[in-house]
């Protein structure tokens, strides 16, 4: 009668009729629907998340407010054990642990994956020992975990505090396991967050993403310049530095380590947490950054035959590397593919699920080096080319990274050039996407000719005087003013003849490589389903500009997609999901790396694509 209500569990469509006031956890058990939960319905583990599709239920409890973000609660997410049925209802049960990475990162597009991190938190009531239950403290604890990882062990450090921790609050404890190893056990009242960091070591920029591993939520992003730039702008100059100084590698490693530790500290402070709450770090970076971070000799990356010391994923204790997170936390460095195709490219492939696609897709990661991954639908080919750091703003007269005040768009407004700057700040320089636009617009206006010369504005009749007036300097040393003194923070921001040369070299290397890979697998431009552009500025790139300057195969503009800092996204995905971590390993194992320079065709192509279309 009216004392009973019916609840339907989706997607299974299973129903249960239960007394009013029954909570969803019990109702699910009655219906035979499995809902995960390690605290046994005590509202402490936060695992029994369900989504209320319709119906009347009790209001969120204080425990739910503590364990779920406001955004989750607003979307209808509830803890089954805390939610009482007040009327008929329909409830969606996510597949086990399907809590997704919901919050997009600044300038990132991280796809949603089921939350299945390597680090797990268990909130337990461990049975008290007795003469009839003489199991050891650790065994009683381990067996109290419902979904116990295989071969669960514990660090000696953790075992040292175990007896006291168990007995402090009547065997109520919060347990943290990294992989199959318990690293922390503490009384429930001392429970703290379970955090992880994804670290993207770019040649120019380092980014740290702090993620809540219980919710998958990205909490804070912290980024800064790679301090190794003082030893050289590109990887080859840094390798030379390491080779020619007895403590060169140590110096390079110490610099990057200090910066990463600083960024982590900054992010953790901003989140109001403690460094010890960070139990895992995933690391991406090109092979050279990877080697230097680990302290491996980078010398042979730069000498034929360009082999890494190791390309496999490296997993080790944080204290072994000097990474200042929980000392017993784990550091997972994504695998590399070759000497110049690193864990960053693996990250891009993971983030874009390149090899899970049905149709041929090209991914181009434009950083200080250019890496190209072509998925033919059957084979994964990778290649690298020395694009130079032009597209990241380095070795460009007014180049800068994508930060406030960077010119990130250039277009024709009325009869003049116009620019947009990040955060609408006075112009301080030009970043990658701005360079793309500037090149494309100046080509279109005829201010740059096919060979890449900045032409004399006056001799170019079709231009308005205003635009023509932006060209300054003598032949071969001309420049174009993109933002005059009035628009800029200080002096005018210009694009120089030299800058155009750098851009030409970079785009030609990438285009020639791309075309050669396509040929190798017998594909034509038309066969490509999509062309993905990764890189710190990738999200903002104007596909039309990339096409106009001839950077990419001539696909329709709609097939080009910017996927942002996909390497960083890959690091985040492998942090929140062991399945994605396995995928990263599989990507590295199946990739076929091509050394393009071995082909005599390459130089011809390179020369050919120096010409702008």
Residue 487 backbone dihedrals phi, psi, to 5 degrees: -90, -15
- Segment interacting with a second copy, rule: CB under 8 A, options 94-102, 111-119, 308-316, 481-489: 308-316
Of 173 and 233, which CB lies nearer to a second copy in the complex structure? 173
Q: Which of residues 451-480 bind a second copy (CB under 8 A)?
A: none
Count the site residues for a second copy by CB under 8 A: 46
Of 281 and 532, which CB lies nearer to a second copy in the complex structure? 281
Helix axes 248-270, 287-294, angle to 10 degrees: 90
Quote the tokens at residue 233. Answer: 């702008």
Give the DSSP H or E segment for 248. helix 248-270
According to DSSP, residue 246 is labeled T
- Binding of a second copy by 481 (CB under 8 A): no
Of 339 and 429, which CB lies nearer to a second copy in the complex structure? 339
CB 601, min distance to a second copy, A: 16
Q: Which of 57, 91, 314, 396 binds a second copy (CB under 8 A)?
A: 314
DSSP assignment string, 68-129 = S-HHHHHTTEEEGGG-BEEEEEEEEPPSTT-----SPPTT--PPP---B-SEEEEEEEPPPP
Of 260 and 576, which CB lies nearer to a second copy in the complex structure? 260
CA 18 vs. chain centroid, Å, equals 45
Of 296 and 362, which CB lies nearer to a second copy in the complex structure? 296
Q: Which of residues 315-334 bind a second copy (CB under 8 A)?
A: 315-316, 320-321
Q: Which of residues 279-298 bind a second copy (CB under 8 A)?
A: 294-297
Cα atoms in the 13 Å half-sphere on the side-chain side of 86: 9
Cis peptide before 390 (omega within 30 of 0): no
Of 304 and 425, which CB lies nearer to a second copy in the complex structure? 304
Quote the tokens at residue 279. Answer: 């139990």
- Segment interacting with a second copy, rule: CB under 8 A, options 135-143, 472-480, 509-517, 518-526: 135-143
Quote the tokens at residue 95. Answer: 């597949």
CB atoms within 10 A of CB 289: 28
Q: Which of residues 155-174 bind a second copy (CB under 8 A)?
A: 155-157, 159-160, 162-164
End-to-end CA distance of the chain: 77
Of 125 and 135, which CB lies nearer to a second copy in the complex structure? 135
Cα–Cα distance list, 391 to 4, 313, 571 (Å): 65, 28, 22
- Binding of a second copy by 240 (CB under 8 A): no
- Binding of a second copy by 190 (CB under 8 A): no
Q: Which of 133, 269, 416, 557 binds a second copy (CB under 8 A)?
A: 133
- Binding of a second copy by 136 (CB under 8 A): yes
With 0-12 / 13-18 / 19 or more C-beta atoms within 10 angstroms meaning exposed / middle / buried, residue 387 is: buried
- Binding of a second copy by 272 (CB under 8 A): no
Per the DSSP assignment, residues forming a β-bridge with 454 are 448
Q: Which of 119, 195, 213, 311 binds a second copy (CB under 8 A)?
A: 311
Residue 91 backbone dihedrals phi, psi, to 5 degrees: -130, 135
Question: Strand, coil or helix: what is 434?
Answer: helix
Residues in the chain: 613
Q: Which of 61, 310, 487, 599 binds a second copy (CB under 8 A)?
A: 310
- Binding of a second copy by 498 (CB under 8 A): no
Q: Which of residues 570-599 bind a second copy (CB under 8 A)?
A: 593, 595, 598
What is the distance between the alpha carbons of residues 159 and 407, in angstroms, rounded to a whole number? 56
Q: In what order do the strands lie in the sheet with 330-333?
A: 218-225, 205-212, 195-201, 278-285, 330-333, 314-317
Of 146 and 310, which CB lies nearer to a second copy in the complex structure? 310
Of 45 and 591, which CB lies nearer to a second copy in the complex structure? 591
Of 294 and 460, which CB lies nearer to a second copy in the complex structure? 294
x/- mask, a second copy, residues 337-376, rule CB under 8 A, reads -xx-------------------------------------
Binding site for a second copy (CB under 8 A): 129-131, 133-140, 153-157, 159-160, 162-164, 294-297, 299-300, 304-312, 314-316, 320-321, 338-339, 593, 595, 598
């Amino acid at each position: 009668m009216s004392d009973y209500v019916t609840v339907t569990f989706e997607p299974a469509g299973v129903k249960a009729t239960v007394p009013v006031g029954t909570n969803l956890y019990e109702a699910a058990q009655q219906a035979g629907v499995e809902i995960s939960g390690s605290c046994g319905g005590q509202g402490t583990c936060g695992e029994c998340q369900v989504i209320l599709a319709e119906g009347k239920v009790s209001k969120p409890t204080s425990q739910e407010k503590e364990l779920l973000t406001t955004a989750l609660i607003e979307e209808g997410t509830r803890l089954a054990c805390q939610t009482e049925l007040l009327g008929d209802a329909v409830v969606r049960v996510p597949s086990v642990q399907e809590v997704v990475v919901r919050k997009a990162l600044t300038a990132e597009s991280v796809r949603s994956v089921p939350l299945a991190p390597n680090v797990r938190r268990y909130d337990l009531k461990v049975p008290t020992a007795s003469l009839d239950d003489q199991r050891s403290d650790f065994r009683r604890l381990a067996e109290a975990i419902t979904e116990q990882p295989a071969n669960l062990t514990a660090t000696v450090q953790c075992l040292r505090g175990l007896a006291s921790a168990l007995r402090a609050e009547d065997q109520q404890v919060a347990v943290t396991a990294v992989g199959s190893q318990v690293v922390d056990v503490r009384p429930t009242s001392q429970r703290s967050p379970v955090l992880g960091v994804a670290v993207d070591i770019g040649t120019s920029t380092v980014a740290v993403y702090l993620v809540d591993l219980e919710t998958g939520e990205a909490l804070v992003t912290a980024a800064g310049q790679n301090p190794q730039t003082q030893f050289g702008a590109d990887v080859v100059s840094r390798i030379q530095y390491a080779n020619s100084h007895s403590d060169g590698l140590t110096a390079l490693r110490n610099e990057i380590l200090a910066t990463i530790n600083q960024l982590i500290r900054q992010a953790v402070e901003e989140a109001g947490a403690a460094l010890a709450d960070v139990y895992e770090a995933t690391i991406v970076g090109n092979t050279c950054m990877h080697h230097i971070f680990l302290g491996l000799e980078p010398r042979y990356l730069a000498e034929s035959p360009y082999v890494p010391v190791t390309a496999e994923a490296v997993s080790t204790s944080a204290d072994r590397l000097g990474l200042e997170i929980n000392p017993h936390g784990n550091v997972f460095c994504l695998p590399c593919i070759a000497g110049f195709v690193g864990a960053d490219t693996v990250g891009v492939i993971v983030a874009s699920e390149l090899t899970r696609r049905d149709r041929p897709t090209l991914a181009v990661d434009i950083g200080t080096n250019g890496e190209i991954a072509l998925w033919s639908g059957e084979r994964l080919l990778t290649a690298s080319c020395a694009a130079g750091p032009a597209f990241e703003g380095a070795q460009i007269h007014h180049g800068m990274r994508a930060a406030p005040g960077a010119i990130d768009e250039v277009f024709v407004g009325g009869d003049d050039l116009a620019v947009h700057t990040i955060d609408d700040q006075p112009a301080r320089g030009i970043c990658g996407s701005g360079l793309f636009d500037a090149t494309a617009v100046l080509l279109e206006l005829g201010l740059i000719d096919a060979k890449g010369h900045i032409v004399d504005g006056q001799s170019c009749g079709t231009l308005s005087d205003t635009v023509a007036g932006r060209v300054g300097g003598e032949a071969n040393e001309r420049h174009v003013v993109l933002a005059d003194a009035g628009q800029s923070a200080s002096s005018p921001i210009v694009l120089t003849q030299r800058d155009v040369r750098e851009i030409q070299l970079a785009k030609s290397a990438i285009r020639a490589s791309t075309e050669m890979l396509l040929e190798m697998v017998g594909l034509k431009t038309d066969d490509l389903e999509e062309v993905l552009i990764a890189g710190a500025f990738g999200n903002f790139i104007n596909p039309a500009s990339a096409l106009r300057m001839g950077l990419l195969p001539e696909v329709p503009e709609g097939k080009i997609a910017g996927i942002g800092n996909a390497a960083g996204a890959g690091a985040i995905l492998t942090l929140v999901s062991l399945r994605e971590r396995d995928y990263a390993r599989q990507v590295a194992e199946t990739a076929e790396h091509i050394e393009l320079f071995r082909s005599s065709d390459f130089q011809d192509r390179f020369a050919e694509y120096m010409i702008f279309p």
